């Protein structure tokens, strides 16, 4: 039987959750025995080349490109897992949710103390650039998400346990120490 196929992506996240996947240390050797990777920053495959079994989503949705990628994942993966606080509730990017989008852009490109040179007060706006959304959305408010792994980042052990449980069909082990929100 062929190995289950895993795809991963980072939407509005910091790649910390992907770092946490790598944090399984030498078990990464077991991981490549257990599953095959498709579209993922880990193997640098940019587009889906086949249907996948498991999609790991890091980060919430803050722009139109995030929505596009997330919907693409839903279309190509049988099971989607929200990995980390940002995917589950928006996380730190969602701190902007109470602030109007115009104020955010003004602060970033015109008024902010780190703005060096923008005499014409230009705010980037091009068809090539993804549009910012009115607020940051948790992934499960955009598409159906099957499982959730909380943490910032989720402990490597939690991601590993969840992957093994999904692949083998065994019950997921959830020791108290591995389910944390920070």
Binding site residues, another protein, CB under 8 A:
82, 85, 88-92, 94-95, 97-98, 135, 138, 140-141, 147-150, 152, 174, 176-177, 179-182
Which lies closer to another protein via its Cβ, residue 16 or residue 39? Answer: 16
Contact 97, 90 (CB under 8 A): yes
Q: What's the closest the beta carbon of residue 145 comes to another protein, in angstroms? A: 8
Which lies closer to another protein via its Cβ, residue 98 or residue 113? Answer: 98
Q: What's the closest the beta carbon of residue 135 comes to another protein, in angstroms? A: 7
Which lies closer to another protein via its Cβ, residue 97 or residue 111? Answer: 97
Q: What's the closest the beta carbon of residue 41 comes to another protein, in angstroms? A: 21
Which lies closer to another protein via its Cβ, residue 21 or residue 178? Answer: 178
Would you call 33 helix, strand, or coil by DSSP? helix
Query: Which DSSP helix (H) or strand (E) runs through 29?
Result: helix 27-34
Contact 74, 41 (CB under 8 A): no
The residue written with tokens 């999609």 in the block is: 55
Distance CA 150, CA 97 (A): 20
* 135 HSE (CA, 13 A, CB side): 14
End-to-end CA distance of the chain, in Å?
Answer: 38
Q: What's the closest the beta carbon of residue 35 comes to another protein, in angstroms? A: 22
Q: Is 41 exposed, middle or buried (0-12, 13-18, 19+ CB in 10 A)?
A: middle
Q: What's the closest the beta carbon of residue 122 comes to another protein, in angstroms? A: 29
Which lies closer to another protein via its Cβ, residue 99 or residue 129? Answer: 99
């Amino acid at each position: 039987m062929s190995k289950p196929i895993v795809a991963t992506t980072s939407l509005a996240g910091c790649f910390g959750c992907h770092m946490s996947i790598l944090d399984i240390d030498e078990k990464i050797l077991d991981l490549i025995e257990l599953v095959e990777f498709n579209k993922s920053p880990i193997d640098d495959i940019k587009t889906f080349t086949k249907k996948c079994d498991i999609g790991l989503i890091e980060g919430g949705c803050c722009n139109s490109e995030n929505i596009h990628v997330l919907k693409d994942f839903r279309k190509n993966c049988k099971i989607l897992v929200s990995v980390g606080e940002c995917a589950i509730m928006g996380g730190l990017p969602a701190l902007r949710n109470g602030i109007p989008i115009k104020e955010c852009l003004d602060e970033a490109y015109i008024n902010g103390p780190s703005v060096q040179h923008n005499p014409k007060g230009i705010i980037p706006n091009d068809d090539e650039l993804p549009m910012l959304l009115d607020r940051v959305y948790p992934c499960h408010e955009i598409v159906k998400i099957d499982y959730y792994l909380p943490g910032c980042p989720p402990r490597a052990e939690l991601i590993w346990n969840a992957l093994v449980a999904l692949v083998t069909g065994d019950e997921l082990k959830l020791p108290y120490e591995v389910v944390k929100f920070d």
